[in-house]
């Protein structure tokens, strides 16, 4: 099994001005289970039953703060994300891609580290995972 580290990662956020100085990103995929248990199920051993619900995805992207880019203007924008772990510009880059709405921006500055800005986003539509060929 191949291991993935964050040392070569990169992103492209179309529409925000941020695509460099990335220090990390996360993507969380959720598939809720919807309960379908009915009274009829109690006669067969009282086990709950479930079906797959509607999938969704969210995440964050953390970058070094660039004072030349207005980060607040990005809130509410729909952007195209390409979150890569292999720093490749090719179409076959290892990572995930999708369309998302920027839902939040948080800044962090202290005396010990360079300033950072973290974008939060809500995926809109399918998330495509690009996997490495084995």
The pLDDT tens digits of the residues spanning 83-121 come to 877 655 554 567 788 899 989 988 888 888 888 888 899
Please compute the mean of the pLDDT values over residues 40-47 and round it to a whole number. Answer: 70
What's the domain count of the chain? 1
The answer to whether residue 79 sits within a structural domain is yes
The answer to whether residue 4 sits within a structural domain is no
Q: With bands split at pLDDT 50, 70 and 90, how would you rate the model's confidence at 33?
A: very high
Q: Could you tell me which of 10, 35, 29, 30 has the C-alpha nearest to residue 21?
A: 10
CATH number of the structural domain spanning residue 28? 2.40.30
Distance CA(82)–CA(31), nearest Å, equals 22
pLDDT at 5 over 60: no
The answer to whether residue 2 sits within a structural domain is no
**Within 10 Å of residue 9's Cβ, how many Cβ atoms?**
18
The answer to whether residue 108 sits within a structural domain is yes
Taking the complete model, does pTM exceed 0.85, yes or no?
no
The answer to whether residue 33 sits within a structural domain is yes
Instruction: Compute the C-alpha angle 115/120/123, nearest 5°.
Output: 150
DSSP element (H, E) containing 116: strand 116-123
Distance CA(36)–CA(101), nearest Å, equals 32
């Amino acid at each position: 099994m191949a291991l993935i580290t964050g040392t070569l990662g990169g992103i492209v956020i179309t529409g925000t001005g941020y695509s460099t100085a990335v220090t990390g990103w996360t993507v969380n995929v959720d598939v809720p289970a919807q309960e379908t248990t009915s009274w009829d199920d109690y006669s067969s051993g009282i086990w709950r039953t479930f079906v797959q619900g509607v999938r969704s995805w969210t995440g964050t992207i953390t970058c070094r703060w660039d004072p030349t880019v207005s980060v607040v203007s990005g809130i509410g924008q729909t952007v195209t994300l390409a979150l890569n772990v292999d720093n490749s510009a090719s179409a076959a880059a290892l990572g995930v891609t999708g369309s998302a709405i920027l839902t939040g921006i948080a800044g962090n500055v202290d005396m010990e580290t360079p300033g950072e800005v973290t974008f939060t986003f809500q995926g809109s539509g399918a998330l495509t995972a690009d996997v490495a060929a084995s």
